[in-house]
Structure 1
């Protein structure tokens, strides 16, 4: 019985270690080459930026011109690294949208009310 308990503890510890390693492994992945931005709000999106996360963020994509309500645009990522990014958008009605995203997993960003 004691041996079964030790095996169960060892398996539990291995599973916990594997689960804590998953986010680190995801960070070493490669994001999609381009991300689609969809403006589902009723006002234009005036600016939108995607930057690397961390202490020294680097801009990897930027909206070239305002995006009308209901429209979408594909932004090509410039030298992406890792999966963690911050996105920031500003709308015509002065509303802001900020988020941290995993761009290895997400390739479409929908901006809603």
Structure 2
């Protein structure tokens, strides 16, 4: 099991994303039934969504309420298909992260400074 780290940093009104190196993988396999989100930043995570990629995205998981710094939550995936997903995180300090992830490999997403 590998952990995926999303890193968001506030840069004025904009935010930068740094994503841990993730090798390209085939779309074979089945994603985990749930994904754990860990907010390791010093500010609350206001929103977090996991969607299918492409022009007609379908939401498969969403954070129900803000996640405090240092806390974790498990999100159940709703009818996941394939391995590739788009992940979007928005923080209280206006920082944001957008990334493509392989949820067949990763079951823990750590959001860090």
TM-score normalised by the chain length of structure 2: 0.77
Q: How many residues of Structure 1 are paired with residues of Structure 2 in the alignment?
A: 90
Kindly provide the CA deviation profile for residues 6-59 of structure 1, in whole angstroms up to 9, marking residues without a partner as x.
Answer: xxxxxxxxxxxxxxxx94xx3121000000000000000000000011221100
Task: Work out which structure has the larger RCO, using CA pairs closer than 8 Å and 6 or more positions apart in sequence.
Answer: 2
1:95 maps to 95
Name the counterpart of 2:38: 38
Q: Over the residues paired in the alignment, what is the CA RMSD in angstroms?
A: 1.2
Aligned to 1:104: 104
When Rg is computed on C-alpha atoms for both structures, the one with the higher figure is 1
Of Structure 1 and Structure 2, the greater strand share is in: 2
> Which aligned pairs between 1:24-103 and structure 2 lie closer than 5 A?
26-103=26-103
Q: Structure 2, unaligned stretches of length 5 or more?
A: 1-23
Hey, which bits of structure 1, 4+ residues long, moved more than 3 A?
A: none
